[in-house]
Structure 1
Amino acid sequence: MTSATSAKPQLGFWGLWNISFGFFGIQIGFALQNANMSRVFQTLGASMDDLPALWVAAPLTGLIVQPIIGHLSDKTWNRLGRRRPYFLTGAIFAALSLFVMPLAPLIAAPLIFAAAMLWVLDASLNVSMEPFRAFVGDMLNTDQHSAGYAVQTAFIGAGAVVGSIFPYFLEQFGVSNVAADGGLPDTVKWSFWFGAFALFTAVMWTVVTTKEYSPEEMLAFDGAPAGDVAQPVRALAAKSYASSAVWAAIGIAVLFAVNSLGLEKEVYLLGALLLAYGLLSAIGISLAKQGKTANMLSSIVGDFSGMPDVMKRLALVQFFSWSALFIMWINTTPVVTQYVFGSTDTTSTAYNEGASWVNVLFTVYNGVAAIAALALLPWLSRTFGQVKTHSICLTLGAIGFLMFFFVRDANTLLVAEIGIGIAWASILAMPYAILASNLPQQKLGIFMGLFNVFIVVPQLLVATVMGSIMQAFFPGEPIWTMLFAAASWLIAAAAMLRVQAALPKA
C-alpha cells in the first residue's frame, strides 16, 4: 500500500504501555456508563420501555463525532501533536460530565439532566477514544500492530474492571448502596467522582509521556502513498444522486411508518438519520461535482463510499458484534434483577443487590478480556490466524449469552461472562489490528472513524427497533433480548470467515 523508506523504532514494554495507558481511564468512564446508566435512569423514574430512548445518546454521538474527529486528526499538527489534542479535550469534558452526573436528583428535571449528561459524556469519550485507535497505528510498525492493540485491549479490560467493580467495592466497605426514592446511592455517586479523576489522570499520562511523529517523519517511515489518497473524493463527482435519493426515501418511509404501524417513538430517530444521510450525501456529491473536493463533508462521504474491501467485510462483522453488545449493556441490569434476584422495584434491597451483581458480572467479562488479550489471543492468532481467531471468540461469546437465557443462578452467570469476555477481547483487538495493517496510513484516522459507523448503526437499531419488537412480542420479558444477542454473535462469527479473501496473500 505504501513504499516505506525507513522503519519506525520498535517500542518496548513501557513504550507500548505509554501509548495506550490513556485508554485505561477512558474505559473506566465507559464502564461506569455501561453498568450504571440503566440503574440511574430507572432510579430517576424511567420505565423499562424508556431505556432504549434514553440510551440512544451514546451511539448517536459516536456516529457523528468519530468520523469528524478522525478526519480532523489526520490533518492536525500542532505543538501537542496529531492525536493528543483530541485525547486531552475529550478527557476534560468527560471528567466534568462524570463529576456532575450524580447531581441529577438535585436538578428540577433530573431524568432530562441525566440524559443530557450521558450525551455530553459519550461525545467526550468518543473525542478521546477515536484518535487512540489511529494512534497505535501511527506509532508502531505493522509487525507490532497486533501487540499494540493487544496491550490497548488489556488496558480497556483493566479499566472496565475498575469501573465496573468500584460500586460493589465501595459497598463492601460500608458505603450505602440504597438511597431514598428518587435518589442515587452513595456507591454510584462516589464511583462517578472517582471515575472523573481516574479518566483525566490516565489520559494525561499518555499526553505527557509520548511524543508523536511529525508529518515529515511519518512520510519518511511510510513513504509516499501508493495510490491517490484523494481519489475517493474525486470519484464522488462521477456518482449520481440516485443512492442519496434512495436513502432519503427510506428515511421518509420509516418516519411515516411509525404512526401507521404503531411502532415505538424511538423509530423516529432512525428515520431521521436515514433522511439526514441521504441529504448530506447529496450535498457531498454536489460539492464534488463543483470541484470542491477539499471540504470535510465530501471527504467523509467519498471515503465512506470508497472503503477498501477488507473494511467492507469487517463492517458486517462489526454490525452484528456490536448489536449484541448494546443489547447486553441495556438489558443485563433488567434481566438479572428481574429473573435472578426477583425484583423490578428500584427501591428494594433485592433490586439493588441485583444491580450491584451486574457490576460484578461486567467486572468478570472485562477482567477476562484483559487476560485474554495478552495470554489467549496471541496464541490463538499464531495457531489459527487472526480471522479464525475472531470467529472462534465470537462463538464462545454467543454461548455465554445463551447461558443468560437459561440460567437463573447468579454465581453460574460468572461462567457465561468468561465466554463473553473472550469475545470482547477479540472485538477490541482483531478487527483493528487487521485494519491498521491494511489501510493507508495517511487516512488511518478517518477510516477508523468511519469504521465506527458499523459499531454505532447497530446500536441505534437496537435502541430504536428493539423496543418495538419487545413490546409487540415479548412485553415485560427482557430475557428474550439475550437470545437476540446470541444469534447476532453467531452471525458475526460466520461473517468473519469472509474477511480472509480480502487480505493480501502471505
Structure 2
Amino acid sequence: MEKRKLSFWQIWNMSFGFLGIQFGFALQGGFMSRIFQTLGADVDSIPGLWIAAPLTGLLVQPIIGYLSDNTWSPKFGRRKPFFLIGAILASVTLFFMPHSPVLWVAAGLLWVLDSSINISMEPFRALVADKLPESQRSNGFVIQTLIIGIGTWIASNLPWLVNKLGVTNEAAAGVIPPSVVVAFSVGGFVFLASILFTIFTTKEDPPADLEKFHLEKKESRFIPDLVLSLKEMPSTMKKLGVIQFFSWFAFFTMWSLSGPALTEHVFNAPKPVSKEYAKLDNKGNELKNNTNEIVFLNDEKASEYKQKDKEFNDASDLVGSATGIYGLSSMVFALLLTFYTMKNKINRKYIHMASLILGGLGFIYMFFAIPATLLYSFILIGFAWGSILSMPYAMLSSSVNPKKMGMMMGLFNMFIVIPQIIAALGGINFLYKLIGEAHINAMLLAGISLIIAGLCNFLITDKNAISG
C-alpha cells in the first residue's frame, strides 16, 4: 500500500533530531583534533586516535538497524527508542569530553560519543524510508541535509562565539580552553532537546501486518539475517559503496587533519610543543609543579609559549568557523533541492557526481588559500557534503527491501566506516606523504579522493535509483 504524502513541516519535525546529532558530529569533527593536540598528541598520531569513531560505527550500526527493524511498541514506536537512548548517552559524553585530564581518556570518550551518535543516527535514516512514499524520498533526505547543514554551521562556530561572548579561549599548557568546554556543554543540551522534539512531534506507523511482523520477529536471528542481507545486497548498493569509500576517506581526512593542517599552512600558527619551552626530567618529560602545571625554562620561554598558544587557539577558532561554512553551503544546497524536488524529479547520479567533484576542487584550493579566502574551499566542500548526506541514501532506499531498511542502512554504513578505519590505521599518513611531508598535503589527498568518488558515479545504471 502506497504511503500517504507528508507536508513539509511533518517531514521537518521528523528530521529535526538531526540538528542535535549534527551538533555532536560537528563538535567532534571540528574540535577533537584540537583537544588531542592540547593533551599532547603529535599531528601524525591524530588519525590513529580517531579510529574509535569508525570502529564503533562498524559494530553498532548493523546491530541497531537490526534491532530497530524488529522493534514495535504502540507507545514508543519503532525507531524512537533508539533515538532517545543514543541522545542521552551522547549528551552526557559531550559534557564530560572537554574535561578529559589525559589523552587516553579523551580517546575513550570519543569511542563512547561516536557509539552514542550512531545509535541515534541510523534509525533516523530508516525513519524517512518508513514514513515517506517513494515520490518523497529524495525530498525527505534533502530536508534532513538542510537540518544537518544548520547544525554543522552553528556548532562549528560555537567556540568562536562563546569566546566573543567573553569566555576565554586560553588555558594553561595541557588544559582544554574554557570556550571549548562551554561549547561542548551547549552541544550536549541541543542534542537531547532536538531529539525530544522529534519524539514528541512525530508518530510512527505500525507495520502493515502486525501479526505477520510479530511472527517474523520471533523467527529472526541476527547472524543469519546479517549473512542473508549480505548475500541479498543489490548491485546498486555495492556500486554506491565504491563511491562512499572514496567520499568518506576524504571527509575523515578533513575531520582528523584539517585543524593542524590549516592552522599551520593558512594561518601560520601551529600548536607549540611544550617540551621546547619547559624544563624536562631525565626521561624527557615536562617537569610539573605542585599544582600540576608545566615548569618553563624561564619567564621569557613561558611568555613565548603563551603567545604562540594564544595564536594557535585563535587560529583554531577561525578554522572551526571556516569549517562551519561547509554546513552553511550544504544547507543552501539542500534548500534549493528541497524546493525543486517538491514538484520535480531529479537525476540523483549526476547531481551527486558534480557535487563531489566540486568538493574535491575545494579541498585542493586549500593549498592556495589565505585566511580571507579559505571560506571558498568550504563552500565547495559543502556542496559535496550536502549531496553525500542525501543522494546515496535516496538511491539506496529505492533499491532495497523495505522490511530490512534498518539492517540495510546499517550495512551500508560499512562503506562509510571501512575507509575511515583504513585512513586511521595509516592510510592518510602514508598517502599524503607521497605528495609531501607538509600536513596541508593531506587536504590535497582528500581532494583527489573526492574527485575519484565523483567519477565513480558512472557505475550507477539502475534507472529507479537514478531518477527520483
**Fold shared by both chains (TM-score > 0.5):** yes
Correspondence 1:177-192 to 2 at 5 A: 177-192=169-184
1:43 maps to which of 38, 42, 62:
38
Q: 2:20–2:193: 8 Å Cα contact kept in structure 1?
A: yes
Change (3 A) 1:217 1:371: farther
Q: Offset of 1:359 from its aligned partner?
A: 1.1
* 2:361 equivalent to 1:396: no
Q: 1:62–1:122: 8 Å Cα contact kept in structure 2?
A: yes
Tell me, what secondary structure is at the counterpart of 1:497? helix
Q: Deviations over 1:374-410 (max 9, x none)?
A: 1157659958611111001111101101101222x11
* 2:391 equivalent to 1:430: yes
Identity of aligned residues (%): 43
1:465 maps to which of 413, 426, 438:
426
Q: 2:394–2:465: 8 Å Cα contact kept in structure 1?
A: no
Which residue of structure 2 lines up, in the alignment, with residue 343 of structure 1?
A: 269
Q: 1:380–1:389: 8 Å Cα contact kept in structure 2?
A: no
Q: 2:365–2:377: 8 Å Cα contact kept in structure 1?
A: yes
Change (3 A) 1:24 1:472: closer
Correspondence 1:9-408 to 2 at 5 A: 9-78=4-73, 79-105=75-101, 110-216=102-208, 294-346=220-272, 348-376=309-337, 379=340, 385-407=347-369
Change (3 A) 1:504 1:140: closer
Q: 1:310–1:502: 8 Å Cα contact kept in structure 2?
A: no
Tell me, what secondary structure is at the counterpart of 2:250? helix
Q: 1:309–1:502: 8 Å Cα contact kept in structure 2?
A: no
Q: 2:78–2:204: 8 Å Cα contact kept in structure 1?
A: yes
Q: Tell me the TM-score normalized by structure 1.
A: 0.80
Aligned AA (1:150): V
Tell me, what secondary structure is at the counterpart of 1:411? coil
> How far apart in 2 are the matches of 1:23 and 1:296?
27
Aligned residues: 428
Aligned AA (1:436): S
Aligned AA (1:20): S
Q: Deviations over 1:121-164 (max 9, x none)?
A: 00000000010000011011111111111110011111111111
Q: Deviations over 1:435-468 (max 9, x none)?
A: 1122211011000000000000011111112355
> How far apart in 2 are the matches of 1:216 and 1:22?
25
Q: 2:432–2:445: 8 Å Cα contact kept in structure 1?
A: no
> How far apart in 2 are the matches of 1:65 and 1:207?
21
Aligned AA (1:45): G
Tell me, what secondary structure is at the counterpart of 2:170? coil
Change (3 A) 1:318 1:470: closer
Change (3 A) 1:91 1:45: same
Q: Offset of 1:102 from its aligned partner?
A: 1.9
Aligned AA (1:81): G
Point out where structure 1 has 5 or more consecutive residues left out of the alignment. 231-291
Tell me, what secondary structure is at the counterpart of 1:182? coil
Q: Offset of 1:298 from its aligned partner?
A: 2.3
Q: 2:253–2:428: 8 Å Cα contact kept in structure 1?
A: no
Change (3 A) 1:394 1:218: farther
Tell me, what secondary structure is at the counterpart of 1:159? helix
Q: Offset of 1:103 from its aligned partner?
A: 1.6
> How far apart in 1 are the matches of 2:410 and 2:404?
10
The range that moved more, 476-485 or 409-418, is 476-485
Q: Deviations over 1:169-228 (max 9, x none)?
A: 1111221011111111111000010011000000011111111111136899xxx9xxxx
Which residue of structure 1 lines up, in the alignment, with residue 457 of structure 2?
A: 496
Tell me, what secondary structure is at the counterpart of 2:77? coil
